[in-house]
Chains A and B, each alone.
Chain A
Amino acid sequence: DARVTQTPRDKVTEMGQEVTMRCQPILGHNTVFWYRQTMMQGLELLAYFRNRAPLDDSGMPKDRFSAEMPDATLATLKIQPSEPRDSAVYFCASGLAQGAGVLTEAFFGQGTRLTVV
C-alpha cells in the first residue's frame, strides 16, 4: 500500500532553533508539495517540485524557510530560525503529473505538527 511518509509526526522546539521536516514521496511519483495548515489561514501552499526541481516557492518566507529534494526519495523543509508563528501542521503531498504536467493524483502524508515555544 503506497503511502507518503512524514517525519517527525510531532515536534516541539524552542524559538530560534532549527527545525527539519522530512517527507518520503510515493515511488514513481514526480511531484512533491509542501503545505502549511492553521486554523486562521487554512491550507497554504509553501512550495512544490517536479522531478526534484523547484517550480514555485513563492508561498514560503525565504528568509527562514528552505525546501529541497536531495534525491527522489526525500524532500525536506527547514526552518531556521523558528518562531512561534511557525506553529502549524505541515503536510507533504506526493503527486503524479503526466503529459504536459497535468496532475492526475496527489496523496498526502499524515503531517508534522510543529509547536514553537
Chain B
Amino acid sequence: GNSVTQMEGPVTLSEEAFLTINCTYTATGYPSLFWYVQYPGEGLQLLLKATKADDKGSNKGFEATYRKETTSFHLEKGSVQVSDSAVYFCALSLHGSSNTGKLIFGQGTTLQVKP
C-alpha cells in the first residue's frame, strides 16, 4: 500500500550541527511530497514541498530533494538552532489513483537541539 517511513527519533544534535532526517515512501504512481513541522502544543506547519522527481523544496534553511530512483525525500539543514527543536513529519499525496489528493503521513521524528 501507500506509506511513508521516517527514521526513528529522537534525534539529538548540538547547535550548528548538520541535520538529516530520512524519509522514504511507497506509493502507486508519482506522489507529491511534503515536510511538516510541529512545535509543542501547535498544529502542523508546512515546511517545504516537491511535486515531481528531482524537485528541491527549501524553506528557512531546510531543504529536501525528491529522489524517484530511491523513493526518498530526506530533510537536511546545514546548521541547526535550538529553535528547530520540534517534531518533523514527512508526507505524500497521491496522484492519478482513486485516492488522488489523499495526504498520508509518516510517524514523525523528534529533533532535540542542545545549546
| Partner-B contacts on A (CB < 8 A) | 4, 31, 33, 35, 42-43, 45, 48, 50, 55-56, 91, 93, 95, 97, 100-111
Contacts and interface: CB of A to CB of B under 8 A. Distances in A.
A42 B42 contact: no
Interface centre among B36, B43, B45, B102 (most CB of A within 10 A): B43
B17 interface: no
Contacts of A106: 34, 46, 93, 103
A110 B38 CA distance: 10
Interface stretch (B19-27, B65-73, B74-82, B104-112): B104-112
Contacts of A103: 32, 93, 101, 103
Given A104-B51, A106-B34, A91 B43 contact: yes
A53 B89 CA distance: 27
B41 to A, nearest CB: 9
29 contacts: A31-B101, A35-B105, A42-B107, A45-B103, A48-B103, A55-B102, A56-B102, A91-B43, A95-B101, A95-B103, A97-B101, A100-B95, A100-B96, A101-B100, A101-B101, A102-B32, A102-B93, A102-B100, A103-B32, A103-B93, A103-B101, A104-B51, A106-B34, A106-B46, A106-B93, A106-B103, A108-B43, A108-B45, A110-B43
Q: Is the interface of A mostly helix, strand, loop or mixed?
A: strand
Contacts of A35: 105
Contacts of B108: 42-43
A55 B101 contact: yes
Interface of B: 32, 34, 36, 42-46, 49, 51, 89, 93, 95-96, 99-105, 107-108
A83 B108 CA distance: 26
Contacts of A56: 99, 102
- Nearest 7 Cβ contacts at the A-B interface: A101-B100, A108-B43, A103-B93, A108-B44, A97-B101, A43-B105, A101-B101
Given A102-B95, A106-B46, 19 more contacts: A4-B43, A35-B105, A42-B105, A42-B108, A48-B102, A55-B101, A55-B102, A91-B43, A93-B44, A97-B100, A101-B95, A102-B93, A102-B100, A102-B101, A103-B32, A104-B49, A104-B51, A108-B43, A111-B42
